[in-house]
Amino acid sequence: MMLQEQSLLSLPRLLRQLDLENCYIEYNNDVCVAFHAESYLDLYIGVNPFEYLPSNIDFKRLRMLSLYSCTNLKSLSCIPSTLVELQIDWCTSLERVTFESGRFDLQGFACECCFKLSEVQGLFKFVPIAKMNEADLGHMKWIKAYEDHKVDLVGDEVTKGRDWNIQMLYEYGIMSTYLQGVKDKSMPTYDYTSSSGFLSFRVPFHHERNENMIQGLSVSCLYRSSSLGSKDKDKWLLLAKISNTTKGITWIYNPVVYCKPKFNEDVVWLSYWPIINILEAGDEVVVDFFCQQGTMIVSGCGVSIVYMGSEVKEEEKCVNNSMKEGEVIGGDLSDFEVTTGGYYLCRRDLFCSETSYWLKWMFGDKAHYTDSRGWRKAHESVRVRELRDYLNTFLKIIELHVGFNTESEINNIKKAVSSLVGVESVSAHKEMGKLVIAGYVDPIEVTTCVREFDNLIVEILSVKIVFDK
């Protein structure tokens, strides 16, 4: 016997805004609405327990999508190119976001407390070194030995509340990683080196190699914190500048995350730039690293030319991706062009009112920063900030995985966490390695407090927001 299909409620085709927040939509067919928009739509569908977006709504003309606190949502696939703003704050299970166009075209984006988010297509992608094999790593295969090495990544909302092992970061076709506190001599030597943050060289002619076989540049930078450090513990500014002065092309790259150096400790930033077809024998190349004065010191850098035929499986993949996606080196970077041939590869407006000064300092007086739209794509709207403040008024149940060592340590941790403003209760389960906190408190603040205890592994397992007051 066939069950009668559930009837659907039709909505006006000219509807501009639809609010389905906190409607307990659990399955993707729970929305009994037939909707096909003829105008752009703002959809508010947060605070629902579904794992995937409802299938009965036509998303092709979405302008804004709010999914805040959809804690079971695991992925967002093929988001339409009409979307200009995406809110995924508190989607604590979300791992990946992809777009129909294959590139990041958002003008507003918010991802606070997305503790499992590893990829936003066209924006960033993180891959743990532990999940990459030596063939994938190519000329950087030696870092496989450090796959369990911890790094303190900062700089963006996506880093907060997480315990990071060494990762490979992908942006603009560039792949990069950080090694923190490494003192051994296993790191490779480079063709060109400097004891400062600056070096220049001319691409050599190789009789045994075709000059068209140049694949890219392997670049490294050694830095540490200064005696003053950063006033904002999560704001560290380190820029890489690579110029092909022969061809009049310059890229300045501001990565989405950095490794924060500990006191009296070196950090190595390793990167690969797939500048195939943009580098030829005889070209003069200048490499320069900038950091905010008084926060960090660059004590050295190195560059090697990577040729085709080397162990470059992953590098080839970067080049292939560059051909498929627009906003990468070798692709369409027009949104990031601040002067003729000069590109500022950054999504965030770090300098705010001082942007004009900084860009002119980096690119010269001809920098027309108002024409560059790339770094303005990650702005938050006023509504995003209002929703964030709204969520902070509700009770949260925070569950952490903690590698407890002793009973006295557990008592000290409970005492420290209980002292945080807004915490109402703290319970520890040593056998399960869990710490459960209830209160009107920021999960990131709680996690940071627990991490103050040395040699502890801390991971946010879940955050439940209790909306019933």
Per-residue pLDDT at 1: 33
Helix axes 443-451, 407-418, angle to 10 degrees: 140
Average pLDDT over residues 147-151: 90
Task: List all residues 6 or more positions away from 210 whose beta carbon is below 8 Å from its beta carbon.
Answer: none
Per-residue pLDDT at 468: 65
The share of the chain scoring above pLDDT 70, in percent, equals 80
Per-residue pLDDT at 323: 38
CA terminus-to-terminus distance, the chain:
44
Average pLDDT over residues 435-445: 91
CA 242/CA 239 separation, integer angstroms: 10
pLDDT above 90 for 417: yes
pLDDT above 90 for 53: no
CA 12/CA 34 separation, integer angstroms: 10
CB burial of residue 409 (10 Å; 0-12, 13-18, 19+): middle
**pTM of the predicted model as reported, rounded to 2 decimal places:** 0.84
Q: Which stretch of 16-20, 366-370, 373-377 has the lowest confidence by average pLDDT?
A: 373-377
Are β-strands 395-402 and 434-439 bridged in parallel, bridged antiparallel, or unpaired? antiparallel
Average pLDDT over residues 317-334: 64
pLDDT above 60 for 315: no
Per-residue pLDDT at 4: 41
Per-residue pLDDT at 84: 86
pLDDT above 60 for 99: yes
Report the mean per-residue pLDDT for the chain.
81
pLDDT above 60 for 335: yes
pLDDT above 60 for 8: no
The more confidently predicted of residues 261 and 182 is 261
CA 215/CA 295 separation, integer angstroms: 34
Per-residue pLDDT at 126: 95
Per-residue pLDDT at 319: 43
Per-residue pLDDT at 29: 62
Residues 392-414: pLDDT tens digits?
Answer: 788 989 999 888 878 888 999 99
Per-residue pLDDT at 5: 47
Residues 207-241: pLDDT tens digits?
Answer: 555 545 888 999 999 998 876 555 555 566 789 99
The more confidently predicted of residues 309 and 233 is 309
CB burial of residue 201 (10 Å; 0-12, 13-18, 19+): middle
Q: Look at the alpha carbons of 243, 268, 165, 293 in this order and tell me if their dihedral is positive or negative.
A: negative
pLDDT above 50 for 86: yes
Which CATH code, of 3.40.50.1400, 3.30.70.100, 3.30.420.40, 3.30.365.10, is assigned to 394-466? 3.30.70.100
The more confidently predicted of residues 115 and 185 is 115
Please give the helix or strand (H or E) that residue 451 lies within, else none. Answer: helix 443-451
Q: Which stretch of 185-189, 277-281, 391-395, 463-467 has the lowest confidence by average pLDDT?
A: 185-189
CA 258/CA 155 separation, integer angstroms: 6
Average pLDDT over residues 334-340: 87
Per-residue pLDDT at 79: 86
Average pLDDT over residues 154-160: 82
pLDDT above 70 for 34: no
Place of tokens 């220049």: 200
145: left (phi over 0), alpha (psi -120 to 50) or beta: alpha
pLDDT above 70 for 142: yes
Q: What's the pLDDT band for 184 if we cut at 50, 70, 90? A: low
Q: What's the pLDDT band for 342 if we cut at 50, 70, 90? A: very high
Place of tokens 């002793």: 406
Average pLDDT over residues 111-135: 90
CA 59/CA 61 separation, integer angstroms: 6
